[in-house]
Chain A
Amino acid sequence: MATSSGKRSLKTFYYSWGILTVVGVLLAIWIPKRYMPHMMSNDGNLSVTTMILFSVLAAPVAAGVYAAAIHVLRHDRYKGDGVPPAAEQVRENTKLTVTWLTVSAVLTVFVLVWGLGALAAENSSSGNPLVVDVTGQQWVWTFAYPGTHVVSNELIVPDHREVEFRVTSVDVTHGFWVVNFGVQVDANPGTITTIHTTPDKLGTIEVRCEQFCGLNHAFMDAVGHVVTPSQFSAWLASQPARA
């Protein structure tokens, strides 16, 4: 049972908790929008939304921990010499325990369901995707478009059409990461891994390797563009036939 002085001192804990929560929520909203890549696909937008939502939900939890730390450092710090005497033991607080467990369980189940839903959305297909065969090798990405003669070191895809990336490697494991689409998957030798996304904005995209793969891993990137369907057709037709 808290004493009257204890109740007064708890006010600083609640104030700290409230202020830190507000700051955390504001940062959780601002930082992803400011520092995450410019997203140009449904999965990229979902990634940013997920990051913001999870951070907002985590903000009061983190703020509570920091507020508690500030509280005990301010009020319960031992200032004497030698070994401090044993503090008063609080063995149980049913209301706090039930509240803490319930809130934690609800938050955990929510993020689990949300995460599984987001993962399922990333792996689902609408049935008529544009297929791009992606090959990683030390230290270049190449992109082939089945049904055409085109193989390119640039990734060109049309706007608002689902793309199925079939990803593999001819040497070591690479990490295929289309930064602006918010999708990434390992490129493993001897295995084809598929991943889907639908571009929803025109512009330049960047492809990087996100698995350390050797000497020039840091330079293993490729540029690409999301273009209109007519521009995509024109680009395919303009590409030279390669042996």
Chain B
Amino acid sequence: MIRSRSLGVALASVLLGGGALALAGFALATATPHQTPLTCTPVSGKAHTCSVHLSTFPDSLEGVHGASGGPHPDWVTYSNDNVVVPAHETIDVTIDQYDTGGAANNPFFDNVIGTNGGFDTVNGVKTTHVGVNDIGHTFTIRGIPGNGKTLFVSIPLPANNSNKFPVKLGIGTYPKPIVVKFSFDTGGPTVYEFNCEFPCGGSRLGNGFGEAMSSYGYMSGTFTVQ
């Protein structure tokens, strides 16, 4: 009697533990980005081309993180962490850069990499790199291990050092943005990650990769090609 009771308790424990693990696994597997997808808008007059428009802000007051900037109103952020674009198309990307900057950890990220033509435009001027001490953020897309995709696009976004703040968005005020434009081809359907490679996320370990750089939804996100 005692043995069968112990066996029952042991079996129930194993089943409960297995169920908890399965539930956690299901929750992780079905987790999705929390922001409304930023989709690609077809460009009139250009076949197989669409455009997306992002921004980088020095704080989270603009609105995507909720009223009053959400839980971390002082964290830097992209304007969306969930970009969705079509496969086998050219994507025209525009990024409005509102934040200040400095030097990246690695000068490799001062360069424009992976765009059509190997360049971008900064306020309409064609360029291939940004000065070593003039990086505000980067917009870096790369493949996810194991999916066989090799897309790598990295754009240095120049620091915006203006001390005038005429632009009002949400409850925040910002300088006139530096407008960076570039395009690249998506290839087949898959999901990429994008993030910033400039140490803009607070001082964890003194390297600037804490806070906004170590939390999804601020300086990183998914770039879905479908």
Contact = CB atoms under 8 A, between A and B. Distances in A.
Indicate, yes or no, whether A interacts with B.
yes
Interface of A: 135, 137-140, 142, 151, 153-154, 170-172, 206, 208, 214-216, 218-219, 221, 223, 240, 242-243
12 contacts: A137-B105, A137-B106, A140-B140, A154-B152, A214-B213, A214-B214, A215-B215, A216-B220, A221-B144, A242-B108, A242-B110, A242-B111
A219 B193 contact: yes
A151 B193 CA distance: 22
Interface in B112-152: 113, 118, 128-129, 132, 140, 142-145, 150, 152
A135 B145 contact: no
Nearest to A144: B108
A223 to B, nearest CB: 5
Q: Is the interface of B mostly helix, strand, loop or mixed?
A: mixed
B55 to A, nearest CB: 21
A218 B195 contact: no
B24 interface: no
B207 interface: yes
Contacts of A223: 143, 150
B57 interface: no
Nearest to A139: B195
Contacts of A154: 150, 152
A215 B216 CA distance: 8
A177 to B, nearest CB: 11
A171 B193 contact: no
Most buried by B among A135, A206, A215, A242: A215
B144 to A, nearest CB: 6
B107 A172 contact: no
9 closest cross-chain pairs (CB), A and B: A243-B129, A221-B145, A170-B105, A171-B207, A242-B111, A142-B108, A215-B214, A219-B193, A138-B209
B106 A208 contact: no
Given A139-B195, A215-B220, A243 B214 contact: no
Contacts of A215: 195, 213-216, 220
A216 B111 CA distance: 21
A56 B108 CA distance: 47
Interface residues of B, number: 31
B129 A242 contact: yes
Contacts of A151: 108
Contacts of A171: 105, 199, 205, 207, 209
A219 B129 contact: no
Contact of A219 (B105, B110, B113, B142): B142
B128 to A, nearest CB: 8
A205 to B, nearest CB: 12
B197 interface: yes
B111 A243 contact: yes
Interface string B55-95: 00000000000000000000000000000000000000000
Given A139-B195, A219-B142, 18 more contacts: A137-B105, A137-B106, A140-B140, A153-B108, A153-B142, A170-B105, A171-B205, A172-B207, A214-B209, A214-B213, A215-B214, A215-B215, A215-B220, A219-B193, A240-B128, A242-B108, A243-B111, A243-B129
